[in-house]
Amino acid sequence: MDDHAKRHAWDWIENHRPDLSGWHTTIWEFAEPAWREYRSAAWYVDRLRGAGFDVEVGSGGMPTAFAASWSNGPGPTVLTYAEYDAVPGNCQAAATSPGPRPGLSRFAPGHTDPHSALGISTLGGLLAAQHAMREHGIGGTLRYTGEPAEKVQGSKVVHGLRGYYDVDAIVSYHPYYSLPMCNTARWDTHCGAYYSKIFTFRSDHPETWADAGTPIPSVHSSARAPGANAALFAMYSLTKSTQDAMAPTVGGWSLSEAILTAGNATADHLPAGLAQIQYSWRAPTLDIAERILAVLDANAEAAARTAHCDLHARWVARNRPGLANHAMAALTYRNLAAVGPPGYDEAAVAVGRDMQRALGVPVTDKPFLPDAERLVEPREAERRLRELLPPWQANSTSDDYVEMTWYAPTARFYVAGPELAPTGTSCPAWVYNALGGIPATIDPSIVCAAKTTAGALLDLLRDRPALHAAQEEFERRRAGGPKPLLPPEFTAPVDYPWPEYVTTERGRDWSVPLNAEV
């Protein structure tokens, strides 16, 4: 196949390196958390409209989501996407010493994976593919979705149910986060199931707990329901004590919780009226995920009864395990191999050495993880991954791209991000977070991923036999598989009290006070 179009796309990326770097810094500094990525989403919408895309704002009923489309005539429709949510409690400056971004608490959000690089990489690939399509008369349609709240895997299940993934093929990218998934594409073992559910306890009628007709002058000594806080902590304790019995202790499943709201009593003699706790769990199979769900539901019902509360439950996400597609993986990896892995110049190496000095570890000639500058062929990555898993386990870890794999042939590829080489001690989280925001260290990953994305999109638009093979494999693998786990009318829980930045008379702040010590 003539690669002039692909070379034009890659040239576009090289010529726009300063733009990509600046765009990334913008999103990295916004660092907005799940469901509250207002400035980040608006930035993408403006940039896409400026490039000629038609953009639907608030797609799927999610205020910080979007769906963009651009067509150059008849041809396949291919999709890639942006993520841009950050993680509370990980605020870090783009510096070689620990410390939050200026004016913020360390409890504010920061980019960890980083999703800032994920989004700018795919945006760069999208715009480069658009440029090549115009220059070479390549027909087809580019779709691009903005996916908020990936850290709670919240948006893709909604976009899928609403038909946004009804396309010919999807290219999914994520910065490397765990060996051997470094500079490669997933082959057989894709990510597993992820469930997330919020349990709300409400003490709406505490007076009926033990009504003895106490007169008002004695109200302080009236019997009152234990209240919503008691229900929340009853569930928390029950779940801790039953966690070991939820599912087999194999397969790498995990369970975590977050208290969203607690307290809210209006006086010291009244019971708490509202408390909310979110549980999220990752599992390699739907059977394990469902077993965990059954225990959590039972614990919530028992806690509500014990504390004389009403129970309300709402899903955040409920995703199926991912579906492999060898044709898509091979096509995408060929582009990654043609681009080559990211490399680190003297400026990046200097940053790495400064990091080593800050950590008090030996300063080395090559401070970064050697695997970051090596390609791993997908079947070899699969072989290494399988060495870590029991034979029965078909899926591992979790990420919400898995829902996409059930709507269209999907490739999932990874490009290394900057990470210091092991020194015998665990590297603190601030180091990885900072390296993801320093242009010298993160830009090589962005350029590599952008070129790979552009090449894969162009191949899918032009190589009809390859696209047809991917679609045939998709239909074969999807047959008989699980249907969506949530109903078509499911709506994202954007109205819940997710943490966010706030503006008050004091100015813009994080929802945790500036000098909070917790």
Write the CB contacts of 330 (distance below 8 Å, at least 6 apart in sequence): 185, 378
Is 77 in a helix, a strand, or coil?
strand
- State the average pLDDT for the chain: 92
For 114-125, what is the mean pLDDT?
97
What are the tens digits of pLDDT across the range 454-475?
999 999 999 999 999 999 999 9
At 154 the pLDDT is: 93
Please check the confidence at residue 218 and state whether its pLDDT lies above 70: no
Looking at the DSSP bridge assignments, the partners of residue 256 are 280
Instruction: For residues 209 and 307, give the distance between their C-alpha atoms in angstroms, rounded to a whole number.
Output: 9
Considering the chain, tell me which residue range(s) the CATH 3.30.70.360 domain(s) occupy.
194-318
Distance between CA atoms of 377 and 394, rounded to whole angstroms?
Answer: 19
Task: Give the global pTM.
Answer: 0.94
Per-residue pLDDT tens digits for 240-259? 999 988 987 777 899 999 98
pLDDT in tens, 1-54: 558 999 999 999 999 999 999 999 999 999 999 999 999 999 999 999 999 999
Check whether 514 has a pLDDT greater than 60.
no
Q: pLDDT per residue over 337-373, tens digit each?
A: 999 999 999 999 999 999 999 999 999 999 999 999 9
Alpha carbons 41 and 38: distance in angstroms, whole number: 5
pLDDT of res. 512: 52
Q: For the purposes of burial, counting CB atoms within 10 Å of the CB of 244, is it exposed (0-12), middle (13-18) or buried (19 or more)?
A: exposed
Whether 296 shows a pLDDT value over 60: the answer reads yes
Answer CATH for 4-192+321-478 from 3.40.50.1980, 3.40.30.10, 3.20.10.10, 3.40.630.10: 3.40.630.10
**Six-digit token pair at 333?**
């990896």
Residue range 388-403, pLDDT digits in tens? 999 999 999 989 999 9
The C-alpha atoms of residue 469 and residue 328 are separated, in whole angstroms, by 9
The answer to whether the peptide bond before residue 114 is cis (omega within 30 degrees of 0) is yes
d(C-alpha 39, C-alpha 27), whole Å: 9
Which comes out higher in pLDDT, residue 199 or 217? 199
pLDDT for res 81: 98
The yes-or-no verdict on residue 380 having pLDDT over 80 is: yes
The fraction of the chain above a pLDDT of 70, given in percent, is 94
Range(s) of the chain covered by CATH 3.40.630.10: 4-192+321-478
How open is the CA angle 84-406-122, to the nearest 5 degrees? 30
Q: Quote the pLDDT of residue 518.
A: 34
pLDDT tens sequence across 41-89: 999 999 999 999 999 999 999 999 999 999 999 999 999 999 999 999 9
**Interval 148-189: pLDDT, tens:** 999 999 999 999 999 999 999 999 999 987 889 999 999 999
401 vs 118, 155, 248, CA distance in Å? 13, 10, 26
Q: Are 106 and 89 spatial neighbours (Cβ–Cβ below 8 Å)?
A: yes
The third-level CATH classification (topology) of the domain covering 194-318 is: Alpha-Beta Plaits (3.30.70)
3-class DSSP assignment, residue 169: strand
What DSSP element (H or E) covers 83? strand 77-83
Give the model confidence (pLDDT) of 95-104 as tens digits: 999 999 998 8
Question: Cβ(124)–Cβ(20) under 8 Å?
Answer: yes
Geometric angle at alpha carbon 123, from 191 and 509, rounded to 5°? 85
Residue with tokens 């990420």: 399
